[in-house]
Amino acid sequence: MKVAVTGASGFVGGAVCRALMDNGVETLAYGRRSQVAPGHLGGAAYTSWDLTHGPLPDAPVVDTVVHCAGSVTDWGPAAGFFATNLGGTHNTLRSFPGARFVHVSTASVYDPYRPTVMAVEGQAPVSRYLNAYGASKMAAERAVLAVMRGHGRAPWRRARDRREAIVLRPHAVYGPGDTTLLPRVLSSVRGPILPATGSGATPVSLTSIGNLVQACLLAACGPVGTGVYNVTDAEPVALGDAFREILAERGVRARPVFLPARALRPVAAAVEGAFMLARRPEPPRLTRYAISHLAVERTLDITAARDVLGYDPKPTSFAGAADW
């Protein structure tokens, strides 16, 4: 079996490459960086490819593609999000026609304006998103599902091209190598306080990199070739407990302090507007998107992944976070 992995130079893609190689699967790694340390890929053969520039020239024939590439920030111009998340997905589909397509999406495709309470897969898409990240990831999902169903407007997408496709929806991926979630939490600490919003009792589903990699391998190499599946840790956790465990594992002497979301939303909107006017490339520390994922419940039902894919996730744990 031969598997291609996009986004291999990143956090999730690199972990998927290492796991595939550890399981004896011939793996071809693709990423935007010119070079990647062999250890990051588990020894997988690496090719530099910016998938926003077009399909991969002379792409090899593979059995499966695990599409991990994408923009994962919640800040930036909409055009950039759609070029990477939607355009990059189109170019990857074109590059590997006929291969099973495993698309790593996000729980941000669910409605950001209301609590996500043990959401099942059919609750997305929705008609509104807070930012271009969620909208572009949903657009990419539609492109993948159109190929799975064998229809669509694009001339390269015909009924005869119908193929196996699986969409995975993790939420707040964390673990060794994380460049987003844990750094963002730690950078928010101010002296003895970690400012947050909502309530420490707010339930949230998180996804460890180990659990997400397990789901990717089941989708890439298992007998099930189609479907949309939420992918999280075994059970939701309380947000305050998660923050306290992260701080304790990192040896940070601080405690989370929760502020009312109603008061913070207009502040976040004003901060975002100021950043946009100043054309600042870095994201503000406070965004409406971040508030939407902290202030209310964000939990996902993973029954389908358990029953259909055979997914068996471990509980949420930040043990060893001091070494990440």
183-197: per-residue pLDDT in tens? 888 988 999 999 888
Q: What is the pLDDT of residue 138?
A: 97
Q: What is the pLDDT of residue 272?
A: 78
Any domain includes 184: no
Ranking 130-134, 232-236, 237-241, 260-264 by mean pLDDT, the lowest is: 260-264
Averaged pLDDT score across all residues of the chain: 92
Any domain includes 217: yes
Count of residues for the chain?
A: 324
- Would you say residue 162 has pLDDT above 80? no
Query: What DSSP character marks residue 60?
Result: P
Q: What is the mean pLDDT of residues 8-25?
A: 98
Q: How far apart are the first and last CA of the chain?
A: 32
- Would you say residue 100 has pLDDT above 60? yes
Any domain includes 113: yes
Q: What is the pLDDT of residue 293?
A: 75
Q: How confident is the model at residue 161 (pLDDT cuts 50, 70, 90)?
A: low
Per-residue burial over 298-322, b if 16 or more Cβ lie within 10 Å, else e, is bbbbbebbeeebebebeebbbeebe
Q: What is the mean pLDDT of residues 138-159?
A: 73
Q: Cβ distance 141 to 103 under 8 Å?
A: yes
Helix axes 209-221, 11-22, angle to 10 degrees: 60
CA gap 76, 282 in Å, rounded: 8
Q: What is the pLDDT of residue 280?
A: 82
Any domain includes 135: yes
Domain of residue 105, CATH code? 3.40.50.720
115-127: per-residue pLDDT in tens? 999 999 999 999 9
Percent of the chain with pLDDT over 90: 73
- Would you say residue 181 has pLDDT above 50? yes
Any domain includes 127: yes
Neighbours of 144 (CB within 10 A): 23
Assigned token pair, 222: 């298992």
Print the domain residue range for 7: 2-175+205-235+298-318
CA gap 157, 97 in Å, rounded: 10
Q: What is the pLDDT of residue 153?
A: 46
Percent of the chain with pLDDT over 70: 96
- Would you say residue 156 has pLDDT above 50? no
- Please give the tally of structural domains in the chain: 1
Q: What is the mean pLDDT of residues 157-168?
A: 74
CA gap 110, 169 in Å, rounded: 10
Q: How confident is the model at residue 260 (pLDDT cuts 50, 70, 90)?
A: confident
Q: How confident is the model at residue 281 (pLDDT cuts 50, 70, 90)?
A: confident
41-71: per-residue pLDDT in tens? 999 999 999 999 999 999 999 999 999 999 8
Q: What is the pLDDT of residue 295?
A: 85
Any domain includes 305: yes
